Structure 1
């Protein structure tokens, strides 16, 4: 296939996902039974984010500086499953670049990625020879593996001799100045609650100015109270609340989110950590020091930092060139043709 053929196929895939045919609706219904975190709303949110990027204009612009090749090399992909279709961007990068893929799905995938790949084959039969879903990776030339800090150690051991991208735990943070409007704080709620906060782009920590009125933040996110109706989320909320009460840990509680002062980035589900700051320069210095643990930052003020910065409400809708961990996947692939 030529690069243009591959682009055309993914454009058709985007159009199909946007329409959501009946068989996809059935897959979505099954997915939420297989994995309760994959609610219909969250799966449709992921499909919308994917399909909005699969346009001819966006794909051609993204790829215009890269050559048209058909590589004989195979990329082993180990995908995460913390949120629906979280590994799609890696699959897209590999296949649209002209490489072959061997794909190890997460046990949490619930059939979504398999459905999307089968549809891609139907739209462009030449893709049938370009990828394979496998239970165990072998016979590959490059590897892209996504996991936790623990699994990354195993990935380093097993795959370190191959050209690789190995992703570890990262978290995202928000910077609040106290000047935000209610609408901006409500938008920030998407960065916190979309996908129940399970994504690496989910905000798990706030930087707030000293003497900030937390009630203002809670008022802004009040529209997300229905998150507590999800039994797994609410179980986490009840558990963490009880631990804080038993231990006498100071925290704020609005009935569906716990806010706790803590220097760490990674907070438990249903909890967002916070730190107070004296100046934005102090925040910038802190973010620079922890850049290797940060996926992205959401802020309505400019920040002089290395990490990518998004407006409130936009962290979960990355563009094609918003690469995970700041590692350009296309550059990696084309450096190993």
Structure 2
């Protein structure tokens, strides 16, 4: 398959996602049954973002031109991809990068998120049989020429050991933060709620910590967060909320709440499900400086940084961990 054929197929896949026919609806429902953290709302959010931000012919063409991807890949490599399963189709961008560059790929999907990616690849197979030579699935990744693996800090150590002899990208735990000034508008706080609550905060681009000025007024923030109070109706989320509330009370730790999230002062970047950490700063410049080279931070939301509400809407060139996957693939 040449580059233009691949772009046309990917654009068709985006149209398929947006059309939402019976077959696709059934697949999304199956994915939701398999993983109860994958609610229909958040599956729709993830797949629509992929269709609109990634799978548009003009965007794909511009992206390919930016990297001077050749029309034909005359020496395709086999790239092994280990996908995470924290949010729906979180590994799709890796699949997309390998596919558009014309390399072959062997995917080991997460057991928590294998329904959606397998279905979308099956659609490509039905439209063009040549894609069967480009994409396959396996529980064991052996004999690949390069590897892209995403997992926890613990699993990353194993990935480094097993794949050290091959070209590789290894990703670890990351999270995102928001840097607030106290002058945010109600509309901005409303969008910040999306950055915090979407996907239950399980994504590396979810905001799990706030940096706020001293004497910050949390009331407008908690009021804005009320839009997601309905999450407390979901058993698994409510269970986490109740558990973390009990921990805070037993530890006699000060907290604030709007019934769907717990705000707790902490130095930790990562926060449990249903909890949002915060830390006061004296100088916003010092707070920014501490975040610039922090390897645990995926992105920073706030003024002069990523727009509020933009954390879970990455573009084609928003590479996880800041590692340019396209450059990596084209240099194989």
For the aligned pair, the TM-score class normalised by the smaller chain equals over 0.9
Report the equivalent of 2:149.
145
1:328 paired with 2:329, answer no
Could you list the structure 1 runs, at least 4 aligned residues long, displaced by more than 6 angstroms after superposition.
none
SS in 1 for 2:273: coil
Q: Measure how far apart 1:215 and its partner are.
A: 1.1
SS in 2 for 1:298: strand
Report the equivalent of 1:72.
76
Q: Measure how far apart 1:289 and its partner are.
A: 4.5
How many residues end up aligned between the 2 structures?
328
Report the equivalent of 2:14.
14
Distance in 2 (alpha carbons) for counterparts of 1:123 and 1:175: 46
**Does the CA-based 8 Å contact 1:244-1:251 persist in structure 2?**
yes
Q: Measure how far apart 1:72 and its partner are.
A: 2.7
Report the equivalent of 2:60.
59
Report the equivalent of 1:87.
91
Report the equivalent of 1:2.
2
Which moves more between the two structures, 161-170 or 221-230?
221-230
Q: Measure how far apart 1:145 and its partner are.
A: 0.1
User: In the TM superposition, what are the counterparts of 1:159-308 in structure 2 within 5 Å?
Assistant: 159-290=163-294, 292-299=295-302, 301-302=303-304
1:131 paired with 2:135, answer yes
**Does the CA-based 8 Å contact 2:225-2:258 persist in structure 1?**
no
Report the equivalent of 2:111.
107
Shift in alpha-carbon separation, 1:289–1:96, aligned structure 2, 3 A:
closer
Q: Measure how far apart 1:56 and its partner are.
A: 1.0
Shift in alpha-carbon separation, 1:289–1:2, aligned structure 2, 3 A:
closer
Q: Alpha carbon RMSD of aligned pairs, Å?
A: 1.0
**Does the CA-based 8 Å contact 1:83-1:195 persist in structure 2?**
yes
SS in 2 for 1:249: coil
- Residues 190-214 of structure 1: CA deviation (Å, up to 9, x unaligned): 1011111000000000011110011
1:317 paired with 2:313, answer yes
Distance in 2 (alpha carbons) for counterparts of 1:19 and 1:320: 22
Distance in 2 (alpha carbons) for counterparts of 1:118 and 1:243: 45
**Does the CA-based 8 Å contact 2:82-2:148 persist in structure 1?**
yes
Report the equivalent of 2:102.
98
Distance in 2 (alpha carbons) for counterparts of 1:182 and 1:222: 12
**Does the CA-based 8 Å contact 2:13-2:55 persist in structure 1?**
yes
Distance in 1 (alpha carbons) for counterparts of 2:45 and 2:276: 22
Distance in 2 (alpha carbons) for counterparts of 1:147 and 1:127: 27
Distance in 2 (alpha carbons) for counterparts of 1:325 and 1:67: 23
Distance in 2 (alpha carbons) for counterparts of 1:67 and 1:317: 25
Unaligned ranges ≥5, structure 1: 303-308
Distance in 2 (alpha carbons) for counterparts of 1:123 and 1:231: 40
**Does the CA-based 8 Å contact 2:209-2:276 persist in structure 1?**
yes
Distance in 2 (alpha carbons) for counterparts of 1:77 and 1:66: 23
Which moves more between the two structures, 32-41 or 67-76?
67-76
SS in 2 for 1:310: coil
Distance in 2 (alpha carbons) for counterparts of 1:133 and 1:19: 26
Q: Measure how far apart 1:286 and its partner are.
A: 1.6
Q: Measure how far apart 1:66 and its partner are.
A: 2.2
Distance in 2 (alpha carbons) for counterparts of 1:30 and 1:143: 29
Unaligned ranges ≥5, structure 2: none
